[in-house]
Amino acid sequence: DSGVTQTPKHLITATGQRVTLRCSPRSGDLSVYWYQQSLDQGLQFLIQYYNGEERAKGNILERFSAQQFPDLHSELNLSSLELGDSALYFCASSVGSGNQPQHFGDGTRLSIL
Amino acid sequence: GQNIDQPTEMTATEGAIVQINCTYQTSGFNGLFWYQQHAGEAPTFLSYNVLDGLEEKGRFSSFLSRSKGYSYLLLKELQMKDSASYLCAVKLEDSSYKLIFGSGTRLLVRP
């Protein structure tokens, strides 16, 4: 158990809809990262928050947005969903210092029908 | 751009040793991580290298050569449960701590 909690575990919805994925980081971790993993693809970095502020952005679509709240949990919002958005979405957290590893949650499997 | 290369698949025999290579060309470098990921599960941290040389952790070791942009993960005394994908990830030298992942190497351990 990594200590990172993601909900829900599975989400099935239709094209055009909007969903929110939630992540609670490990106790004491200030950084939260979001990754997308499509079938047989590597992990694609989407966005990072550190102590409530956006720190880095990857290849995140404009239809996607995220935020980190004062209690450090984070939400990833995906809107106008397309079939190609079907993927595993992972959240990871770390203390924030350079050599500390990121610890991953179990992911949310999003299926768009 | 950022480029991280790993072999797509490897097969090895239970009890043997396998070496998984990773080469990288990135705009800056501030450390390399190896993760293990079983199908449909979360990646789990295996090792971290920032200086040249070998880091050993039980059956797993990881090597880094910064001048060559090269790392490898060495798995000894392979067990069936080692069948998984192994992900190489580079931390860039910027103000964030984001990781750039390779596509992963799928390792199949046969009896």
Which chain A residue lies closest to B102 (C-alpha atoms)?
A42
Burial of residue A20 (CB within 10 Å: 0-12, 13-18, 19+) is: middle
Candidate ranges A15-19, A39-43, B24-28; pick with highest mean pLDDT: A15-19
| Nearest in space to A41 (alpha carbons), one of B93, B24, B37 | B37
Q: Which of A104, A109, A110 to mutate to test the interface with B (most CBs of B within 10 A)?
A: A104
Locate B40 and state its tokens.
């449909």
Place of tokens 């919002």: A77
Peptide bond before A101: cis, by omega within 30 degrees of 0?
Answer: no
CB B25 within 8 Å of CB B79 = no
Which two three-digit tokens encode residue A53?
């502020």
* Cβ contact A45–B104 (<8 Å): no
The pLDDT-based confidence of A39 (bands split at 50, 70, 90) is confident
The minimum CA-CA distance between B58 and chain A, rounded to whole Å, is 18
Among residues B87, B72, B69, B88, which one has the least CA distance to residue B29? B69
pLDDT at A59: 83
pLDDT of residue B101: 93
Phi and psi of B80, rounded to 5°? -60, -35
Q: Give CA–CA dist B29/A48, Å, rounded.
A: 18
The one-character DSSP state at B15 is T
- Find residues 3-32 of chain A whose CB sits inside 8 Å of chain B: 4, 31
Task: Give the percent of chain A with pLDDT over 90.
Answer: 83
Note the helical H segments in B1-111: none
Q: From the CA of A107, how many Å to the nearest CA of chain B?
A: 7
Return the amino acid letter for B90.
Answer: V
What is the pLDDT, as a whole number, of residue B25?
A: 94
Q: Compute the distance between CA of residue A3 and CA of residue A112 in angstroms, rounded to an integer.
A: 28
Indicate the SS3 state at residue A84.
Answer: helix
Find where tokens 């450390």 sit: B31
8 A C-beta contact, residue A35 and residue A89: yes
Provide mean pLDDT across the span B86-109: 88
Residue range B92-96: mean pLDDT, rounded:
72
What confidence tens digit (pLDDT) does each residue in A82-113 have? 999 999 999 999 987 567 889 999 999 999 99
pLDDT at residue B94 above 90?
A: no
pLDDT tens digits, one per residue of B4-63: 999 999 999 999 999 999 999 988 888 999 999 998 899 999 999 999 999 999 999 999
* Chain B, nearest residue to A43 by Cα: B101
